[in-house]
């Protein structure tokens, strides 16, 4: 287990949350767009005094039957950013998503900002570069992104301090971003009544996910938590994506305080074998490991995505 006494990254993140909760620093404004086609929340977080903003996990619309990309979801984000007069400094990915394609390059073209992800994306690029037999032109060094963050990094959105926590388990590269009192945990935990993210993708690990979740839940209880996805838990009719660290500690159906690591791992592994592959996993991985760019066009000018066929 991580020695909490020595967990400087967690201490720094805790300090940032506490300062915002105590009113010593400004709390950010968070506005969320929820994509019902992929169950994904795109969050726009900004400093209300100087309008600096970050966009977290933006969604590109993609129809897998036709291979057609469209931008209705991203255009809604652009309209909001312009209407609010925001200056986008960052386009932040919590991880290389398997359920939607990233709109980060499209948003960067329209609004500016730097595209960032976790430094362990290079591991994801190694794994999926091999799966998709991408060839020598594909670099496995994360250089498709403008910036790679590591655990403990500190950055700012306007004058609001933000901290990076590496929270692997769902994938090897997952990050949580702590922005003032707002925490964006990526695919680790979901709403308390839905539970936690799957841990069966290549490089995923239920035990590692448990430890990442335990670490996140040591942040101050009043921290606002803005989730990456929601799937409506049984008995709930509305999508929801905001809760608090305290509510997760008290009531997360998979990982509340008191659930042991072994019990979590047994539950998670038993559940994961019942889950089908996400509808957009094959296109998503190929695009998202390239920072949201499609593979280069072939000599006829068309871009292609591959389907590795199995069981032939």
Q: Closest distance between Fe ion and the C-beta of residue 76, in Å? A: 22
Which C-beta is closer to Fe ion: that of 77 or that of 175? Answer: 175
Q: Which residues contact 5 (CB under 8 A, 6 or more apart)?
A: none
Which C-beta is closer to Fe ion: that of 97 or that of 120? Answer: 97
Burial 204-230 (b: 16+ CB within 10 A, else e): bbbebbbbbbbbbbbbbeebbbbbbbb
Contact 41, 57 (CB under 8 A): yes
Which C-beta is closer to Fe ion: that of 25 or that of 73? Answer: 73
Q: Closest distance between Fe ion and the C-beta of residue 258, in Å? A: 26
d(CA 119, CA 105): 19
d(CA 16, CA 34): 27
Q: Closest distance between Fe ion and the C-beta of residue 8, in Å? A: 27
Q: Which residues contact 164 (CB under 8 A, 6 or more apart)?
A: 9, 118, 149, 150, 151, 152, 153, 154, 155, 175, 176, 177, 178
Which C-beta is closer to Fe ion: that of 97 or that of 268? Answer: 97
Q: Closest distance between Fe ion and the C-beta of residue 94, in Å? A: 8
Tokens of 53: 């903003």
Helix axes 121-131, 281-288, angle to 10 degrees: 130
Contact 43, 28 (CB under 8 A): no
Tokens of 242: 């905001």
Which C-beta is closer to Fe ion: that of 110 or that of 281? Answer: 281
Q: Closest distance between Fe ion and the C-beta of residue 95, in Å? A: 6
Question: Which spans of this chain sit near Fe ion (rule: CB under 5 A)?
Answer: 97, 187
Contact 186, 34 (CB under 8 A): no
Q: Closest distance between Fe ion and the C-beta of residue 262, in Å? A: 24
Nearest residue to Fe ion on Cβ basis: 187
Which C-beta is closer to Fe ion: that of 27 or that of 228? Answer: 228
Which C-beta is closer to Fe ion: that of 87 or that of 200? Answer: 200
Q: Closest distance between Fe ion and the C-beta of residue 285, in Å? A: 10
Contact 303, 294 (CB under 8 A): yes
């Amino acid at each position: 287990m991580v020695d909490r006494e020595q967990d400087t990254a967690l201490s720094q993140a805790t300090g940032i949350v506490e300062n915002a909760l105590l009113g010593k620093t400004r709390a950010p404004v968070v506005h969320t767009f929820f994509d019902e086609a992929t169950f994904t929340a795109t969050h726009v977080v900004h400093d209300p005094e100087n309008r600096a903003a970050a966009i977290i996990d933006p969604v590109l619309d993609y129809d897998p039957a036709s291979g057609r990309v469209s931008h209705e979801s991203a255009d809604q984000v652009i309209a909001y950013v312009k209407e609010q007069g925001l200056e986008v400094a960052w386009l932040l990915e919590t991880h290389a998503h398997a359920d939607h394609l990233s709109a980060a390059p499209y948003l960067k073209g329209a609004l500016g900002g730097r595209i960032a992800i976790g430094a362990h994306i290079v591991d994801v690029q190694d794994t999926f570069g091999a799966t998709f037999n991408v060839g020598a032109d594909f670099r496995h060094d994360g250089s498709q992104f403008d910036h790679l963050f590591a655990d403990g990094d500190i950055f700012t959105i306007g004058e609001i301090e933000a901290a990076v926590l590496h929270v692997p388990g769902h994938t090897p590269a997952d990050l949580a971003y702590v922005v003032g009192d707002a925490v964006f945990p990526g695919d680790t935990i979901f709403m308390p009544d839905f539970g936690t993210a799957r841990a069966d993708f290549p490089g995923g690990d239920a035990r590692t996910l448990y430890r990442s979740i335990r670490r996140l839940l040591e942040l101050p209880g009043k921290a606002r938590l803005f989730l990456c996805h929601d799937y409506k838990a049984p008995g709930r009719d509305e999508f929801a994506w905001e809760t608090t660290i305290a509510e997760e500690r008290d009531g997360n159906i998979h990982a509340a305080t008191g659930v042991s690591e072994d019990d979590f791992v047994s539950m998670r592994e038993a559940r994961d074998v019942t889950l089908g592959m996400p509808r957009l996993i094959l296109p998503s991985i190929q695009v998202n490991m390239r920072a949201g760019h499609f593979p280069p066009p072939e000599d006829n000018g068309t871009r292609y995505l591959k389907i590795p066929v199995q069981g032939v």
